[in-house]
Structure 1
Amino acid sequence: MTALIATDLDRTMIYSRGAMELAVTESDVAAGIAEEDLLCVEVYDGKPLSYVTSDADAMLRRLTETAVVVPTTTRTVAQFQRIELPGAPWRYAITTNGGNILVDGVPDEQWRADVASAMADGAASLSEIVDELARRVEDSWVRSSRIADELFSYLVVDVETMPSGFVEDWNEWCERRGWGASRQGRKIYTMPNAVCKSRAVAEVRSRLVDDGVLTPEAPVLAAGDGALDAAMLSAADAAIRPRHGELEALDWQRPGVAVTGSSGIAAGEEILRWFSKHVERGTDTQAGASSL
């Protein structure tokens, strides 16, 4: 295989109706995104929830033939397992923001133990975080509060009525205790520093090299739209983010991180074309070297 591709899912590879921006701009119409181009990849409570385009479906399937694609998501294990992502089954997948590595669909117990050990090393406990968060929020603007796989907390909030500066103040308190807070749409994540996608991607890459699936020179390519993806994008050999989402709102820029020209579900196709171009370039380079 020529590369490891670590890609976020929601609003990067897959899109809900609210996130896809279906044919709302001239560029989207020009891209040919229409109802008949959509494929449902997730059903929840009997209702279609997430989609890819038919072109994205084909590109992702082709990509898995020449590169190791590792879905890398903040979703819990159960939430990830609802998705029928093109190209499956996956040897490796990363869920819970890096807190879990799935091997053939099963959480790796050793990795989870390593994460738990890192979380316990000088950081506040999950129970401390949850108790303090409960003291700071109100039912008037919090729609629900969840614990993800006993690793981190997230709130679903009414953004319009949430107090101004809440996320910034909460993040400041968390940072002094080995945690961080960020908002992605209507969700506010409170995440321990030890739980991050980049650490899990590095672990998967190491295993793939040890197993001979990847050469030590094989690059890591990455994509994501949220603040929780930033470390993963920065650590990759090359990366891309869509022109929407939390990183776009922050105008987050880094050397080696490209930005799509389109937004919404059209950006998902653009990201896959970018991946394919980089993988083909690597294949051509390897072929040239082998002929010398």
Structure 2
Amino acid sequence: MIYSRNAFGATPDLPALCVEHYEGAPLSYMTDIAVDRMGALTGAAAVVPTTTRTIKQFKRIGLPGAPWRYAITTNGGNILDNGVPDMRWRTALDAEVRTTAATLSQISAELRSRTADSWATRFRIADHLFCYLVVDLATFPADFLAEWDAWCRPRGWSASQQGRKIYTMPAAVCKSRAVAEVRRRLVDSGELSPDSRLLAAGDGALDAEMLRTADAAIRPRHGELEQLNWTSPNLTVTTATGIRAGEEILDWFLSSSAR
């Protein structure tokens, strides 16, 4: 839904509203049309923002339509209920990761031993749950991701790329699981009917399972899933790329939620 100026695509000078600042500087934008559509969508459906961002990173964003009852951050590692992290969810998830996967410390140490300053510009731990690298794509080794993912898989982790970021994630941490839990809560509380359709959008490999398990899903014609040519029987792919794809996705949500 939000795009940096470098990700605008074919319309780099398009007027847009800044919805995120970082260290006082504008960072992410939505078009005026997307802002209007987002506001309309929050009146038509139960919107649950879902992101790989940490809680702190998510709270930098001023999406139209906020606040929401629920939001999902850290790739499903955290569920926010009225902005407050649900510790029961997180505690249970941490326990599952401990019993099914190598520790974050073990993974981080191995990852650091495999990286070089010539192509890895930053290393980050996300909410004490997973880690990621920021890399220089011009010097990033072509075989690194496949080799690192192959090492991680037997240890209950996986690796994927999203632009300049290389994520290393426990298998138990998945957006689709958190989305299913939030949907269950909304149905149990009577805020959703049991036959309500689940609609989802995403553009990265970490979104694939969430898209696949939705009743209907959409992805833009750019990003990691586009590069992988990823598809699913329930999937729509936008015609537009860049920030215009955000408008098309919101139009699709509004049309689909009215059915």
Superposition TM-score, scaled by structure 1 size: 0.87
Deviations 1:75-118 (A, max 9, x none): 00000000000000011000000000001111100010111011
Match of 1:188 in 2: 166
Letter of the 1:14 counterpart: I
* Structure 2 gap segments, 5+ residues each: none
Task: Provide the rounded CA distance (Å) in 2 between the counterparts of 1:87 and 1:118.
Answer: 34
Q: Percent identity?
A: 61
Alignment equivalent of 1:20, drawn from 8, 13, 25: 8
Match of 2:75 in 1: 97
Task: Provide the rounded CA distance (Å) in 2 between the counterparts of 1:91 and 1:100.
Answer: 14
Match of 1:35 in 2: 14
Deviations 1:38-82 (A, max 9, x none): 111001111110000111111111111120000000000000000
Question: Does the aligned pair in 1 maintain the 2:44–2:254 contact within 8 Å?
Answer: no
Match of 1:46 in 2: 24
Match of 1:253 in 2: 231
Match of 2:214 in 1: 236
Match of 2:101 in 1: 123
Task: Provide the rounded CA distance (Å) in 1 between the counterparts of 2:30 and 2:100.
Answer: 41
Task: Provide the rounded CA distance (Å) in 1 between the counterparts of 2:213 and 2:14.
Answer: 36
Alignment equivalent of 2:248, drawn from 256, 262, 270: 270
Alignment equivalent of 1:218, drawn from 180, 183, 196: 196
3-state DSSP class of the match of 1:121?
helix
If you compute each CA radius of gyration, which structure gives the higher value, 1 or 2? 1
* Structure 1 gap segments, 5+ residues each: 1-12, 25-33, 282-292
Letter of the 1:203 counterpart: E
Superposition TM-score, scaled by structure 2 size: 0.98
Task: Provide the rounded CA distance (Å) in 1 between the counterparts of 2:43 and 2:248.
Answer: 19
Letter of the 1:223 counterpart: A
Task: Provide the rounded CA distance (Å) in 1 between the counterparts of 2:39 and 2:75.
Answer: 24
3-state DSSP class of the match of 1:48?
strand
Task: Provide the rounded CA distance (Å) in 2 between the counterparts of 1:263 and 1:48.
Answer: 22
Letter of the 2:179 counterpart: V
Letter of the 2:14 counterpart: E
Letter of the 2:209 counterpart: A
Alignment of 1:152-163 (within 5 A): 152-163=130-141
Deviations 1:140-196 (A, max 9, x none): 111010000000000000111111210000001111111000011100000001111
Deviations 1:198-253 (A, max 9, x none): 00000000000000000110011000000000000001000000000000000001
Task: Provide the rounded CA distance (Å) in 1 between the counterparts of 2:200 and 2:103.
Answer: 30
Aligned length: 259
Letter of the 2:126 counterpart: A
Deviation at 1:122, TM superposition (A): 2.2
Task: Provide the rounded CA distance (Å) in 2 between the counterparts of 1:164 and 1:259.
Answer: 27
